[in-house]
Amino acid sequence: MAIDIKSVEKIIGYEFKNTKYLEEALTHPSMGTTGSPSYQRLEFLGDAVIGLAVSKHFFLAKSHLSPGQLTSLRSANVSNHKLARVAARLGLYHHVQGTNIRNSLKQADKFEKEVREEEEEWLVYGGAKGPKFLADIVESIAAAIYVDLDFNMQKLCPILEKSLLKPMLTLKDLGKHPQPIIELYELCQKQGKQIEIECESERDGYKNHCIASVYIDEKLFVSESSELKKNARFNAASAALSKLRPKWETPANDGDGDYETEGEDEEELHDHGLHDQKKKWTKTIYGKRDEGLD
């Protein structure tokens, strides 16, 4: 399938001098057997480029913000959760070329529909979780533009702000979520841990019953329930924080992701997959899990 270069350029608001960069940015790794370079190298660069663009935007535009607030804003705006929604709403995944990606495209179609049906237009946390390749192509396209601009960050930032980073989530958007949830995401990210909060609804007689489960590095850590979804998520986040703070917020912990455990607590962390002392550079993952995604 040939990539419709002009259509993609119109979507992102940028005309390439060398279209091979855009072609590479939209080539799925499954095309590797054909000898075509995939978007993986550009994705690597794009991850850093988007992070710098977002950091620069808020640093210059919001001089009154604290380092903690800047970190929260950057995390929310560069998350797979947000970038996947950008790719879905712009329809970028329709232009990805690859072999044996039919299932991934079906998942992307399903995700796009779920996103458009969400109560809030741009959820910061929670909601549907899209296939990872959606966020990947946003990062790879951002990098493709950067390379095409001869690595000129000053020219890149306004282009991204008008397309791939739009809208920029604000502190007001983050403030719509209960504080324990925000604290949990930030604490886990500081420790290099992946964090997800899943919500499932069950019918108990005539009442709906919501169970919120916290997963850390894809391991179930704690679950709480309530009749209301927001209360279940609040309770689950609070329960997780009460268990993690004693381990991660101690004088012996210098913030490098290491922590000390003893006895039953150590065994519990083993059970939950949290005893890995080795720091990992990971991105926070938000929302509902969807098995079998790329």
Query: Where do the structural domains in the chain lie, given as residue ranges?
Result: 5-174, 179-271
Per-residue confidence (pLDDT) for residue 126, from 0 to 100: 62
Domain boundaries 179-271, corresponding CATH code: 3.30.160.20
51 or 181: whose pLDDT is higher?
Answer: 51
Per-residue confidence (pLDDT) for residue 234, from 0 to 100: 83
Q: Which of 242, 172, 175, 229 is nearest to 197 (CA)?
A: 229
What number is the average pLDDT over the span 211-225?
91
Distance CA 103, CA 100 (A): 8
Q: Which of 195, 216, 233, 197 is nearest to 270 (CA)?
A: 216
Per-residue confidence (pLDDT) for residue 132, from 0 to 100: 87
Question: What letter represents residue 180's amino acid?
Answer: P
- Cα-trace Rg, the chain: 20
Angstrom distances, CA of residue 39 to CA of 5, 19, 112 = 15, 14, 21
Hey, is 189 helix, strand or coil?
helix
Mean pLDDT of the residues in the chain: 80
DSSP annotation string for 231-253: HHHHHHHHHHHHHHHHHHSSTT-
Hey, is 117 helix, strand or coil?
coil
What number is the average pLDDT over the span 64-85?
88
Distance CA 52, CA 74 (A): 9
The answer to whether 64 touches 161, Cβ cutoff 8 Å, is: no
Q: Per CATH, is 5-174 categorized as 1.10.1520.10?
A: yes
